[in-house]
Amino acid sequence: MYEWYVGGGAGADELRTIALDGSGERTILHSGEYAPYVSAISPDGKLAAARLYLRKEKTSRLALIALDTGSVRVLKNLEARVDIGNFSSDSRWFVYSNRARAGSADNEVYAIATDGSAEDRLISAAGVSGAPFYTPDGSRVVFAIDRAGRKELWCVRVADGKPLDAPELVKAELGGSFQGLGFSKDGSFYFEQSVSRSGVYVAEVDPATWKLRAAPKPISDSFRDPTVASPAWSPDGKSLAYLSNPPSGTGPGEVTFVIRNPDSGQRKEIPVNFDNVGTAANFRWFADGKSLRLNGPPAPRLLDLGTGKNRVLFNKQVGGAVSSPDGRSLFYTTRDFSAPISTANPLHILRRDLETGEEKELYRNEASGIGDLAPSPDGRYLAFLTRSPLKRWLLSTSAGEPRELNLPPRSQLLSIAWAPDNKAVIFYRMPEGSTTWEIWVQPIDGGEPHGTGIVAKDMSPSSALSMLPDGRIAFTGTASTDEIWVMKNLFAGPRAAK
């Protein structure tokens, strides 16, 4: 069955049926006075429960439509929009919810007899949301309650259209977008909800022209990894490492690193304990391609991907540590972490020889924070970010004064990574007044920055970028989607009516 609007003249609404193979189409109802919104079909296939909207009066009616003749029987007038659920298994009743009265926050759930002989209120409560539904055995009616944006699923036991006892909580924490769809014959309950998931995406650009070759494709598993961060290509370009479901905030906790082969789909998970989970996202591959460089606290360390064990590189609390492409040096920031940032407590960028332990200061910043350290693939330069004001800089790894990169004005900027040819850096950009992030490229020879064509229309970046010589760029984004879910075994079995 479906609804159809017939244009021309005053127009009219129709209800039509058609077989699944496209045959046998027929019109059941034709009306220019009201629009029928069918919500449920009785199990015996004889009736449709519908809300009729009367155009002239601008009011609604609760009605039943006979599917064989198209005759309409109005059961009651409605003050507000009604949410119709489904019929009982014997087709004698159906349930709906409606606002208790104009201006009231309470909604009421009713069972009404299909012959119009009776109607009983099953529940009246603040926050009743959406349509109620009979369970397949007819022993219960389930409904959702919205508690300040957090929905719960409740039920009430019924018999002959009447409540038998007080409502019971079935499932809490359903999410604010929960919308019930109803039961299948086996008792599975289906519902719709909007879900925001972050994912790892890979897009291809031409390294010579920076024109987009292929649109971004998801790489991570959105169900196993609904939240991800910091994708990074391995040195050989065969694997992507990223954080799965990273904890929010700071403090001790466990995080999971995923190593995934985009071609084969092979996946390995490595759980790691952190003293401060807020530092977990700042990781990168080490030059040997067999381990990940992790930041502290308590100190920089290497995670062996074969054994899952990690070892401390040196005992010193540092920030933003990144290794040189050859694995011989580590770049990081340091200051007195027990005191606030100030001109008297500057941040330093240092380079440490991992074999000898020798440290060399490359840059000192006395006014703002430093982040996003990114060594060039040839090891000659270090790109980094300073805050207050937000700027990008290029620094020789042999020290010297940094050079400011010519980035686009009036933009929000995030993250930084290098093109494999050492000639440009890439970064996230959101133009002023926009809500859309783009991935841009900035030549380091003074050329003008320009877009790559990667526009994250429904996504917002959530950390690092990583690029391979063949032009594949890995990044993270968040997208909201509407999904259909199912709950099984909501009830252990039918309970006998009292």
My answer on whether 244 and 335 are in the same domain is yes
- Residues (pLDDT < 70) of the chain are 8-10, 79-81, 100-106, 296-297, 336-345, 366-368, 388-389, 410, 456-463, 492-498
For residue 73, count other CB atoms closer than 10 A to its CB: 12
My answer on whether 316 and 367 are in the same domain is yes
3-state secondary structure the chain: CEEEEECCCCCEEEEEECCCCCCCCEEEEEECCEEEEEEEECCCCCEEEEEEEECCCCEEEEEEEECCCCCEEEEEEECCCCEEEEECCCCCEEEEEEECCCCCCEEEEEEEECCCCCEEEEEEEECEEEEEEECCCCCEEEEEEEECCEEEEEEEEEECCEECCCCEEEECCCCCCCEEEEECCCCCEEEEEEEEEEEEEEEEECCCCCCEEEEEEECCCCCCCCCEEEEEECCCCCCEEEEECCCCCCCCEEEEEEEECCCCCCEEEEEEEECCHHHCCCCEECCCCCEEEECCCCCCEEEECCCCCEEECCCCCCEEEEECCCCCEEEEEECCCCCCCECCECEEEEEEECCCCCEEEEEEECCCCEEEEEECCCCCEEEEEECCCCEEEEEECCCCCCEECCCCCCEEEEEEEECCCCCEEEEEEEECCCCCEEEEEEECCCCCCEEEEEEECCCCCCCCCEECCCCEEEEEEEEEEEEEEEECCCCCCCCCCC
My answer on whether 44 and 164 are in the same domain is yes
Confidence (pLDDT) at 498:
40
Q: Let me know if residue 357 belongs to a domain.
A: yes
Q: Let me know if residue 492 belongs to a domain.
A: no
My answer on whether 167 and 199 are in the same domain is no
Asked if 385 and 377 touch (Cβ cutoff 8 Å), the reply is no
My answer on whether 387 and 260 are in the same domain is yes
My answer on whether 202 and 286 are in the same domain is yes
Q: Let me know if residue 227 belongs to a domain.
A: yes
Q: Let me know if residue 78 belongs to a domain.
A: yes
- Cα–Cα separations (whole angstroms), residue 160 to 14, 82, 98: 33, 22, 20
Confidence (pLDDT) at 159:
95
Confidence (pLDDT) at 486:
92
Residue at which a domain ends, from 194, 216, 238: 194
What CATH code is carried by the domain that includes residue 421? 2.120.10.30
Residue at which a domain ends, from 162, 194, 226: 194
Q: Let me know if residue 420 belongs to a domain.
A: yes
Residue 132 domain boundaries: 2-194
The tokens for 211 are 């024109």
Q: Let me know if residue 489 belongs to a domain.
A: no
My answer on whether 182 and 308 are in the same domain is no
Confidence (pLDDT) at 496:
39
Confidence (pLDDT) at 377:
93
φ, ψ for residue 278 (rounded to 5)? Answer: -65, -20
My answer on whether 330 and 214 are in the same domain is yes
Confidence (pLDDT) at 136:
94
Number of domains in the chain: 2
My answer on whether 97 and 237 are in the same domain is no
My answer on whether 200 and 287 are in the same domain is yes
My answer on whether 452 and 470 are in the same domain is yes
Q: Let me know if residue 400 belongs to a domain.
A: yes
46 alpha-carbon distance from chain centroid: 42
Residue at which a domain ends, from 161, 194, 227: 194
Confidence (pLDDT) at 497:
40
- Specify which residues 41 forms β-bridges with: 48
My answer on whether 263 and 190 are in the same domain is no
Q: Let me know if residue 136 belongs to a domain.
A: yes
- Specify which residues 475 forms β-bridges with: 201
Q: Rounded to an integer, what distance in angstroms lies between the CA atom of residue 353 and that of residue 483?
A: 51
Asked if 240 and 216 touch (Cβ cutoff 8 Å), the reply is no
